[in-house]
Amino acid sequence: MIEFLRRLFGQTGSSATAKERLRLVLMTDHLELAPEMIETMKRDLIEVISRHVEVDRERIDVTFERQDRTLAMLANVPILSVNRPNGNGARKQTRPPVRRRRRRKKAQLGGSVPARAGAT
Amino acid sequence: MQQLRNDLIRSEASELREEATGVILSEASERSEEAKSKDGRAIVITSGKGGVGKTTTTANLGTALAVRGARVVLVDADVGLRNLDILLGLESRVKHHLLDVLEERVQVEDALVPGKHTDGLFLLAAAQAREKDDVETLRMQALIASLRERFDYVLIDSPAGIELGFRNAVAGADEAVVVCTPEVAAVRDVDRVVGLLGNRFRPQLIINRLRPALVRKGKMLSVEDVNGILRLPLLGVIADEPEIIITTNRGEPLALRMQTPTGAAYHAIAARIAGDDVAAPMPAQAKASLFERLGAMLGGKRR
């Protein structure tokens, strides 16, 4: 059985696997070596999102996760209030996550609206 | 030690490869510009990962440069694990070592061992019974600087790792050659080392131990795979040849045999280091017809 699998996968070329692993491992390495870059990115992210909604800056959490074949950036951005131009006020429901693609990184914006969000 | 750690952490923080300034190594750059131009070149040969062929590369490039007529000194900076003398067949002639010189027990002239097979090649062996931490960085820098006044090339064989031993090996150099094998771990480590070196050392790449037959079958990372990621100036590619083992057994660097493909590849790399306009050597594509293979086998046995 193992021999069969080995044949099956061996023929497809293990160098492709090596290349893929290398690409991912280097991405994680570079992120680890650049904590200030992540900080800058976080700031930029907050700035952009803040143009549209009011976010809880203290509780923003950005992490990186290795998924099957990609590296994903997961950003958890608690939203304090949503000011809509037509004056409808904040929505109480949790907004569905907005997905943004930036090259290979997936930015997942999981918005949660705390109870006090309705204050404005 | 704590200070060192802090330095390292601080340097890591400011280090995306492109903008790395070689913080930890910057003290080495204080020599005056005019002294640099007059002197020979100090090149550190390094890799991060162990066992990729740094020492073999150092021995062969040193030999090839000396065959070209340059005056070359090879400094074994792998203190505690002396190897370079073995590859050059000089193990029985080493009387004094790097630490004897650094700690001023002997003059550097007395510690240099002339090469067996090549004129103009000298070895400064590492200490075997000491530790890497025993080397003082500033003294190492001063030693390399003084060697550069007398030699055209000072090749420094760095130990594996990125700790003090590596930093001492790098301290006196102003150029770097990084050796990488087509393996995930080796490429990752080279990437890290290049980040630590920063731009000042203008690192150039040698891909070692490539097996063209495996690459062709998609079972080994190719030159393009490796350098697509590292993106370094490529000095050349050395194939994984049984000849290397044989010559290592004998203590005669393969670069002495210019007629062999790998020997010629080392000479081409040496020529590129010297500034000649020659192409980066690549191992022959293993088209490997049965006839060719038989030929190679017979050729190998005749020796």
Residues 13-52 of B with CB under 8 A from A: 13-17
Give the mean model confidence (pLDDT) for residues B172-199: 96
pLDDT surpasses 80 at B240 = yes
Distance CA B172, CA B148 (A): 10
| Beta carbons of B184 and A13 less than 8 Å apart | no
| Beta carbons of B15 and A33 less than 8 Å apart | yes
The helices-and-strands tally (H runs, E runs) of chain A is 3, 5
Is A70 within a domain?
yes
The pLDDT tens digits for B245-272 are: 999 999 999 999 999 999 999 999 999 9
Number of independent structural domains in chain A: 1
Distance CA B128, CA B105 (A): 16
Task: Identify the weakest region by mean pLDDT among A15-24, A61-70, B14-23, B268-277.
Answer: B14-23
| Beta carbons of B221 and A18 less than 8 Å apart | yes
Distance CA B173, CA B203 (A): 11
Distance CA B246, CA B254 (A): 9
B189 to chain A: nearest residue by CA?
A: A26
Nearest to B262 by CA among B286, B238, B278: B238
Is A3 within a domain?
no
The pLDDT tens digits for B48-93 are: 999 999 999 999 999 999 999 999 999 999 999 999 999 999 999 9
Share of chain B above pLDDT 90, in %: 78
Is A8 within a domain?
no
Using alpha carbons only, how large is chain A's radius of gyration in Å?
A: 20
- What type of residue sits at position B239? A
| pTM > 0.80 | no
Determine the topology of domain B15-302 in CATH.
Rossmann fold (3.40.50)
* H-assigned helices in B19-69: 33-38, 54-67
pLDDT of residue B211: 96
pLDDT of residue B109: 95
**Kind of pairing between the strands at B72-76 and B153-157:** parallel
Distance CA B47, CA B21 (A): 19
The pLDDT tens digits for A42-101 are: 889 889 999 999 999 888 888 888 777 788 888 898 999 887 655 444 444 445 555 544
Count of A-B CB contacts under 8 Å = 53
Is A27 within a domain?
yes
Distance CA B231, CA B179 (A): 13
Is A81 within a domain?
yes
pLDDT of residue A116: 37
Distance CA B139, CA B145 (A): 10
Distance CA B100, CA B97 (A): 5
Is A9 within a domain?
no
Residue in A11, A12, A19 to test binding to B, most B beta-carbons within 10 Å = A19
ipTM of the predicted structure?
0.71
| Boundaries of domain holding A98 | 16-115
* H-assigned helices in chain B: 2-13, 33-38, 54-67, 84-87, 98-102, 108-111, 137-150, 164-171, 184-197, 212-216, 223-230, 242-250, 261-274, 290-302
